[in-house]
Structure 1
Amino acid sequence: MDRRQLRYFAAIFEERNLSRAARACNVAQSALSHHLAGLEAELGSPLFRRRPRGMLPTAAGERLYQHAKGILRAMEAAEADIRQAGDRLAGEVSIGMAYSAVKAIGVPFMRRVTQDYPQVRVSITESLSASTLLHVMKSDVELALVYNPPDDPLLETQPVLEEEMICVGRPEIIGATDDPIAFDALLDLPLILLRQGASSRALIDDPALLKRLEARAKLQMNSVHAISGALAEGIGCIIGTRLFMREQLEAGTLHARPIVNPTLSRSLQFCRLVDHPATFVLEAMQGLLLELIRAEIDAGRWQARPLF
C-alpha cells in the first residue's frame, strides 16, 4: 500500500464513480481500476461494490477511507513542514576543513554565510586532514572536507575533487627546469613530509610509495607554517599541490615540477558520521561549499578535477 493507491482510493470513494475520480486525479480510468484492483488484492477484501451507476463502498472501504484521509492529511502536513523548514534556515553547524580548503574557499564561504544565511551560526575548524577526520569521529564537527579518508563503515563520504601532486621547492634544490621528475629521483632530494601516520595518508594514499618516502624523508612535521618556512629557507622540498604554496610559486621564490612514474594525486571528500542525521542547515552548507569549490576550479585558482 502506497500513497498513490490511497489517493486514488479516496478519490473513488468521494466521487463514487471511476470516470469522475480519474478526471479528478488526472489519470486514465484504466490506471485507476488497476491500482484499485491491486489494493483490494493486497488487503484481501473488496472495497467497493460495482453498480451500473457508480461505486458503492463496502464496510472495508468505509473503514479504509477513515484511515486513508488521516494518512494523506499527515503526509501533506509533513511535506508542507519540510518545505517551510527548508525555506527558513536557522541553527548551528560545525564544519572541519583541511588547510588547503580553508585557503581556497574559507573567506568566500564565511562571506556567503553571513550574507545569505543570517540565522545560521557556523563553527569552522581548520587542521590537517588527519586531525579534521578525528574531529568528525569524535563528533566535534558534523561535516568535514578531508583528503584521502579511510574506508570506514562509520563514515559517509562524498568525493569532491582530485588534485595532482607536484614537487615544490627552491630551484637550486629541485632544479630550475619544468621537466617532470621521476618518483625514484624524489628519494634523493631533501624531502619534507607530514609526520608519519594518519597525517601522511592525506599526502599519498598508497602505502608502498608512502613507506618509501617516509624512509628517506629528512624532516617530518605537522605544521603548515614550519613547512612553509623550511621551503622558503631552502631547507628541503615537498610533495604538495600548487594551491598549497600558490603565492610563492606565482612570485617565483619557489618552483614546481610534475612527478611521473608514477603520477601522484589525492582526493578531497566530504565526511560525516552515518548515524548522525543530516539537517537542513548542514545540507545547505554542503551545497554552498560545493558551489564555491566549483567556482574556484572553473576560475583556475584551484587546479583540480571536480568529482561532483
Structure 2
Amino acid sequence: MLDTRQLQYFATIYEAGSLAQASQVLRVATSALSHHLAQLEHRVGEALFLRKPRGMEPTASGHRLYEHARSILRSLAAAEADLRDRAGQVSGQVAVGMSFSAVKAIGVPFISQVVRDYPEVQLVLTESLSASALPHLLASEVDLALVYNPPPDLAVRTEPVLEERMVCVGRPDIIGDTEEPITFAELLELPIILLRQGVSARAIMDDISLLKKIEARARLQMNSVQAIAGSIEAGLGCVIGTRLFMQDQLQRKTVHARPIIAPELSRTLHLCHFAARPPTFANEAIREVLLDNVRAAVREGRWEAQILLPPEA
C-alpha cells in the first residue's frame, strides 16, 4: 500500500524539480526526502526520476504516478475539509472550470457571491474553451465544470443547464446587412472562421453531422477568442456563435448577427463532475451558487438562452 506521506513528498519533488527545492518547501531534510523517495521507488519497482546535476527529471513512470498522486492527495484534502464542515463553516478548496461565455455572463457575480457567502472556501476558477474543461475535470484539476455538448463518458456525470441558439456573426458586407435569417446552406457558402474549442469544435452545436459539414468548409480554424474577434472585425470571415460570445463587438456595431435556420443550430451547456468522487459540502454549496447565477443571468436577460434546470424549490 502506498504511503500518503511518501506521495506528498514525491509530488513536491516533482513540482519543485529538485530535492533541495522540495526540502525548503516541506521543511524536511534533503536526506530524509531522498530516503523516502528511494523507498517509494522500491515499492513501485520503477525509477521515478532521473538524477541530474541540476535537478530531478521525472521518468515516464514518474509522470504517471504524479497524476495518480495529485488525485489522491486532492481527494484526501477534500475529505478532511468536508469532515470539518460537518461541525462548522463550509470550507476548503473548490475548483470550477467555465467556458468563455459562462465567465462573460456570470463570472463576476458568481465570484462575488462565493466570497460573500462562503469566506472559508478557496475558489479556483479556470476559464477555458469549453471542450478542454473536460480533460481538466478527469485529471482532477477541477471539481465542477460548465461544458458545452460534452461527449459521453462514464467517468463524468452531466446535468443539462441551458440551451443557446446559435447565430452567424460577421461584418454586414460579409453576411449581409439584414435582420433576415440565413439558411444553413447559405451559411456554408460564406468564409467561416471556426472556433476550435480545445481539442474539437463540438461545443459549437449539438448536431455532429452538421458540424462536420462546417468543419469541411471552414476557411480558418482558431483556438483564440481574441484572434477570431479581430479577424471578424477585419472582414476576414464570419463565425457561428452566440450573441453573448460576440456581445462586445455587437454592442459597438462593428459586426452584425443573423439567426440561422433550416435547420436552427443550438448547443447545450452541462454542469459536469467526476462520477467517482463523492460530493463535499463545499462542492454542493458552490454548485448551488453556480446554478443560481445561471438562472439569474437568463432571467435578467444577460444570457440569451433557455433554462433546462428544474424549477427552484
TM-score, normalised on structure 2? 0.70
CA distance in 1, matches of 2:84, 2:226: 45
CA distance in 1, matches of 2:257, 2:202: 21
| Equivalence for 1:116 | 117
Mapping 1:1-308, distance limit 5 Å:
85=86, 88-195=89-196, 198-308=199-309
Q: 1:282 to 1:179 in 2, by over 3 A?
A: same
| Contact persistence 1:109–1:288 (CA under 8 A) | yes
| Contact persistence 2:191–2:236 (CA under 8 A) | yes
| Equivalence for 2:31 | none
Give 1:194 shift.
2.1
Determine helix, strand or coil for the equivalent of 2:180: coil
CA distance in 1, matches of 2:88, 2:172: 53
Determine helix, strand or coil for the equivalent of 2:200: helix
Q: 1:86 to 1:162 in 2, by over 3 A?
A: farther
Compare 83-92 and 119-128 and name the one that shifted more.
83-92
CA distance in 2, matches of 1:86, 1:131: 37
Compare 140-149 and 81-90 and name the one that shifted more.
81-90
For the aligned residue pairs, the C-alpha RMSD in angstroms reads 1.8
| Contact persistence 2:166–2:241 (CA under 8 A) | yes
CA distance in 2, matches of 1:263, 1:216: 18
* Unaligned runs of at least 5 residues, structure 1: 1-80
CA distance in 1, matches of 2:199, 2:230: 23
Which deviations, in whole Å up to 9, do the C-alpha atoms of 1:193-248 show, x marking residues without a partner? 02388430000232211111111100001111111111111111000001001122
Which deviations, in whole Å up to 9, do the C-alpha atoms of 1:32-87 show, x marking residues without a partner? xxxxxxxxxxxxxxxxxxxxxxxxxxxxxxxxxxxxxxxxxxxxxxxxx9997286
Determine helix, strand or coil for the equivalent of 1:199: coil
Give 1:168 shift.
0.5
Compare 142-151 and 206-215 and name the one that shifted more.
206-215
Give 1:129 shift.
1.0
Residue type at the aligned position of 1:257: R
Q: 1:307 to 1:82 in 2, by over 3 A?
A: farther
CA distance in 2, matches of 1:140, 1:197: 16
Residue type at the aligned position of 1:194: L
Give 1:265 shift.
0.3
| Contact persistence 2:175–2:238 (CA under 8 A) | yes
CA distance in 2, matches of 1:293, 1:197: 23
CA distance in 2, matches of 1:87, 1:174: 57
| Contact persistence 1:192–1:237 (CA under 8 A) | yes
Give 1:138 shift.
1.0
CA distance in 2, matches of 1:86, 1:112: 22
Give 1:141 shift.
0.7
Determine helix, strand or coil for the equivalent of 1:292: helix
Residue type at the aligned position of 1:272: H
Determine helix, strand or coil for the equivalent of 1:289: helix
* Identity across matched positions, percent: 57
Residue type at the aligned position of 1:283: E
Determine helix, strand or coil for the equivalent of 2:174: helix
Determine helix, strand or coil for the equivalent of 1:284: helix
Q: 1:86 to 1:190 in 2, by over 3 A?
A: farther
Which deviations, in whole Å up to 9, do the C-alpha atoms of 1:156-188 show, x marking residues without a partner? 011110000000011111011000000010111
| Contact persistence 1:182–1:260 (CA under 8 A) | yes
Residue type at the aligned position of 2:142: V
CA distance in 2, matches of 1:196, 1:208: 17
Give 1:282 shift.
0.7
TM-score, normalised on structure 1? 0.71
CA distance in 1, matches of 2:126, 2:141: 9
* Unaligned runs of at least 5 residues, structure 2: 1-81
Q: How many residues align?
A: 228
Residue type at the aligned position of 1:270: L
| Contact persistence 2:95–2:123 (CA under 8 A) | yes
Residue type at the aligned position of 1:179: E
Determine helix, strand or coil for the equivalent of 2:258: strand
Larger-gyration structure (1/2): 1
